[in-house]
Amino acid sequence: MDVATRLRPAPDAAHAPAHARAGDTLEQFPPNAGMGWADHDLPHPPGRRRVLGDAFRKGMDPTQPVQNMLRLGVGLGPIFEMLALGRKFVFASGVDLVGELCDDKRFTKTLAPGVQDLRMFVGDGLFTAETDEPNWRLAHDLLMPAFSKSAMRGYHDVMVDAANELIGVWDKAAGEGRTVDVSPWLTKLTLETIARAAFSHTFGSFATEEVDPFVTTFVGDMSHAAARSNVAALPLVGRRRVRRKDQVALARHGYIDGLLRQIVADREASGQRHEDLLGRMMHEPVDDSGALLEAQNVRHQILTMLVAGHETTSGAVSFALYHLTREPEILARVRAELDEVLGSDPAVDPTFEQVPKLRYLRRVVDETLRLWPTAPGFARSPRETTTIGADGSAGVPGGLRMTPQDKVLVFIPLLHRDPDVWPDPERFDPDRFLPEHNRARPAHAYKPFGTGERACIGRQFALHESVIVLAKLLHRFDLTPEPGYELTITERLTLMPVGFRVGLTRRS
């Protein structure tokens, strides 16, 4: 029985995904016009200009909006706005106000501008769907058990085996005295891990130093989505330029759509019923009628898992290694814990039961995600018109009126740097996450995985994998960063260090 008869049919042409109707993407997915809030003037950086607004200032890189916002948002208060080419964007970073916005009874996830533009590639996948879209609830409820803490036991060996393959490559580099570029290799590792664990698919990532076309293609997709609305707002030529860029991006994305179809077709042709995420999506009913996920939505979810399951985790592990190579005392504590829990053999594999015992290493991961949440924001809208900050937490007496048409982006890097919650916030200190400090902090002061029912479904997977990878690499190698390197971060809806190379020495 083929895929078409086993899964719900794809939507008709009127509701087909953008890549099926490349000629009218501006009509299907109009560039984001801003975040509402027409009735309010909120704090903003000084020096606003008539046309450009607060954007495109001297010294600002338009490809680095998160890092720009980190600089410009300091001191503006718990909620502030930025104007860019006539579009208003509103950010919240005060812990009390964020706590209010995280109340799922009053507020729900909405799509941040870049995420909204990403729908032209990912459709109603878990990350890009609106909460009231039926496929989000169906897929979320179907897949949630596969990402529980207990489910990690089934993925553990896959994570360890993939990490060992990377170590084989780095061992060779160590023997030849070569440095390695950290982030691209970790991206290979995390892509390979999620593909094997979730879809029993391999990209053959360690056979070559070349980056897989899947990665380069989707990085292009994310970069296009991140810049699309800005380009569309340019006077005179903006929308025509976006239409041309849409067509180029969608043609390029055809490679990914073909890959996703092949993954499903290969599974169907094999006749095997793997107990992985793809198996659940293809064979588990989503309601009492016995219906299965739509074929198109299965592809959307595969793509969502592949991207979200590797891009953010590789960035987090890369940032962690960057900080550890600059903090010898912290690294020494990590090594002491590894030797205590895993023993003196640097080639030993951590067991599933040992991973939770690496408590200090887990705090290193938590502190890394505090400073560099690789998914740096999430957007919220009220379910109905309401007032936020009535207790004064918005910095306005009586609070601010917010309608369902208004969006606010919770800006996590500033939330995680609030000096009233995080003393000396730029200092890398894993002991901030000792149990007694966790209990003392406001509940919503730390949000690297989003919030509520729309929080990252793969949180446990990412944390378990991050601890394993760091444990294996740090137990096996001494890492020496290239002299003179200063942290450089690329932004493509996620954050990732670039150009971070290390020398490797095998530990005996």
Q: What DSSP element (H or E) covers 119?
A: helix 113-122
Indicate the residue type of 245.
K
389: left (phi over 0), alpha (psi -120 to 50) or beta: left
- 3-class DSSP state of 253: helix
Q: Which residue is it, tokens 């890097």?
A: 413
Structure tokens of 220? 């292009």
Rounded (10°) angle between helices 238-270 and 295-308: 100
Sign of CA dihedral 274, 278, 284, 289: negative
| Residue type at 456 in one-letter notation | C
Active site (annotated) includes residue 313: no
Q: How many CB atoms lie within 10 A of CB 340?
A: 12
Please count the other Cβ atoms lying within 10 Å of the Cβ belonging to residue 160. 20
Output the six-digit token pair for 293. 């996920």
Q: What end-to-end distance do the CA atoms of the chain give, in Å?
A: 55
- C-alpha span between 307 and 311 (Å, rounded): 6
Question: Out of 456, 477, 494, 500, which one is annotated catalytic?
Answer: 456
79 backbone dihedrals φ, ψ, rounded to 5°: -145, 135
Decide: 269 and 308 in contact? Cβ < 8 Å.
Answer: no
Catalytic residue among 29, 121, 449, 500: 449
Rounded to an integer, what distance in angstroms lies between the CA atom of residue 4 and that of residue 2? 6
CA 213 → CA 205, 218, 252, 260, distances in Å? 11, 8, 10, 13
Rounded to whole angstroms, how far apart are CA atoms 162 and 289? 39
Q: Is 312 a catalytic residue?
A: yes
How would you classify the pairing of strands 386-388 and 408-411?
unpaired
What is d(CA 96, CA 92) in angstroms, rounded to the nearest whole number? 10
Known catalytic membership, residue 102: no
Dist CA 370 CA 365 (whole Å):
9
With CA atoms as reference, report the closest residue to 228 among 124, 117, 128.
117
Q: Which of 108, 110, 128, 312 is catalytic?
A: 312
Residues classed as catalytic: 312, 449, 456
